[in-house]
């Protein structure tokens, strides 16, 4: 066979090979299309292992439809405007001026609305904008600066309270929906997932977020006090804070768990305020204090013994308090409460937020070279 014939046959084989490759490739695409539409398997057995899982993965990764949940939740979320008294150099009496805005959640038929304390703090007047266009003046029933929650009430009919869920059982990766009025845009819905659970962190206003729900659902200024719900539209948290670089959302938002918020609502409706347990001590909040050489040297000289490196230093014991009666003294160091280690003031604040007046607490503490333990019955934090 001459060279010319060999070249012709080689070209023919190459063309046939390319056509076959095109058919196989077409078969894979067709196989995936048929598999999605009619449940058929891939046409080419060789590519079945690759083709079928791709269709399955696409189906499993499909996001849920939030339309029903949004329609359910939006009527239960309100916009809140805060007005404060503002003095002017040219006026003898203060005027009223809007100084802030946020969101709130209707939690009962009789007009109770749950929001953040920082949304209404310092307000002379609070106006609530309902989803149906009504505007009502709200009464502040009670506020809890410690937990950053407040309860309002409006005298309006035909309100739609939100369905209460639970924050127990939430899982990282679970879909959630945030509803509120970010930057003044009422009835805004954003979706994301639970990014983390059990976050405990202080805020800039002195309140403490305990066991907060972290989410990547977009939360911005104005979302505070709004709803965080599950995919079925049940309330699981109150949107409260964000971690931010320039003031906007970067996908790190935090919500107060609804189970903790419900306790505050119960206290306010029953007592007019939240109730927390306390042992009657003032602690030093500076982080890492007991590991500083100068502090350790001063304490050792004053107390006659070297203090432990971990624990919480007591600055003051309130006279007549349960701590005072239990023998706890200034410059003693709290080591643990009820078996839970107290490493810093945040741990201690969490213990107090989780406690109620009348609860028993076993306090282990270091005092002038000795480790002691005493059981106390907690008092009402705000009764004094």
Question: For the chain, how long is the longest CA-to-CA vector?
Answer: 115
**Catalytic residue check, 224:** yes
Distance, in Å, from the CA atom of 378 to the CA atom of 375, rounded to the nearest integer, reads: 10
Q: Is position 148 annotated as part of the catalytic site?
A: yes
Q: Looking at the chain, how many residues does it have?
A: 384
Place of tokens 């505007």: 135
Interatomic CA distance for residues 273 and 149, integer angstroms = 11
Handedness of CA 126, 131, 132, 133 (dihedral sign): positive
Strand ranges in 93-207 using DSSP code E only, listed in sequence order: 95-106, 112-115, 125-129, 135-144, 149-153, 175-180, 188-202
- The DSSP code for 206 is S
Cα distances from 186 to residues 15, 39, 76, 180, in angstroms, run 63, 44, 12, 6
The H or E element containing residue 59 is helix 48-60
Say whether 129 is catalytic.
no
> Which regions of 130-278 does DSSP assign to beta strands (E)?
135-144, 149-153, 175-180, 188-202, 208-215, 227-230, 235-242, 253-257, 277-278
Which two three-digit tokens encode residue 293? Answer: 């050489």
Residue pointed to by tokens 């060789």:
46
Catalytic hit among 118, 195, 336, 355: 118
Q: State how far the alpha carbon of 232 is from the alpha carbons of 67, 137, 188, 236, 255, in Å.
A: 10, 31, 17, 11, 18
d(Cα 239, Cα 253) in Å, to the nearest integer? Answer: 8
Q: Are 200 and 211 in contact (CB under 8 A)?
A: yes
Of 81, 144, 148, 332, the catalytic one is 148
Is the Cβ–Cβ distance between 16 and 6 less than 8 Å? no
From residue 89, give the alpha-carbon distance in Å to each of 94, 95, 123, 124.
10, 11, 21, 20
The secondary structure element, H or E, covering residue 349 is helix 345-353
Distance CA 315, CA 194 (A): 39
Q: Are 179 and 217 in contact (CB under 8 A)?
A: no
Write out the catalytic residue numbers.
118, 148, 224
């Amino acid at each position: 066979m001459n060279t010319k014939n060999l070249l012709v046959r080689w070209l023919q084989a190459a063309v046939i090979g390319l056509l076959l490759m095109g058919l196989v490739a077409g078969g894979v695409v067709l196989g995936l299309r048929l598999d999605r539409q009619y449940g058929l398997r891939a046409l080419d057995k060789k590519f079945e292992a690759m083709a079928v899982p791709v269709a399955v993965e696409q189906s499993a990764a499909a996001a849920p439809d939030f339309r029903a949940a949004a329609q359910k939740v939006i009527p239960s979320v309100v916009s809140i405007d805060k007005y404060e008294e503002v003095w002017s150099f040219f006026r003898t009496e203060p005027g009223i001026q809007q100084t802030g805005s946020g969101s709130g959640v209707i939690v009962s038929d009789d007009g109770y609305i749950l929001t953040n304390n920082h949304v209404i703090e310092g307000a002379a007047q609070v106006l609530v904008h309902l989803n149906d266009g009504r505007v009502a003046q709200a009464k502040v029933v009670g506020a809890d600066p410690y937990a950053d929650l407040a309860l309002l009430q409006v005298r309006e009919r035909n309100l739609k309270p939100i369905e209460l869920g639970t924050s127990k059982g939430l899982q990282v990766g679970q879909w959630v929906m945030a509803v509120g009025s970010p930057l003044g845009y009422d009835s805004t819905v954003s979706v994301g997932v639970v990014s983390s659970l059990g976050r405990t962190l202080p805020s800039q206003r002195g309140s403490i977020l305990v066991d907060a729900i972290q989410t990547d659902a977009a939360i911005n200024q104005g979302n505070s006090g709004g709803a965080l719900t599950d995919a079925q539209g049940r309330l699981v948290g109150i949107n409260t804070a964000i971690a931010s670089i320039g003031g906007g959302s970067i996908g790190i938002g935090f919500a107060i768990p609804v189970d903790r918020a419900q306790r505050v609502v119960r206290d306010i409706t029953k007592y007019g305020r939240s109730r927390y347990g306390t042992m009657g001590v003032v602690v030093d909040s500076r982080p890492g204090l007991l590991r500083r050489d100068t502090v350790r040297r001063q304490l050792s000289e004053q107390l006659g013994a070297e203090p432990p490196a971990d624990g919480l230093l007591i600055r003051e014991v309130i006279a007549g308090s349960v701590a005072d009666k239990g023998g706890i003294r200034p410059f003693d160091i709290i080591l643990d409460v009820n078996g839970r280690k107290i490493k810093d003031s945040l741990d201690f604040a969490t213990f107090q937020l989780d406690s109620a007046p009348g609860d028993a607490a076993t306090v282990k503490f270091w005092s002038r070279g000795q480790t002691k333990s005493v059981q106390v019955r907690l008092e009402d934090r705000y009764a004094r």
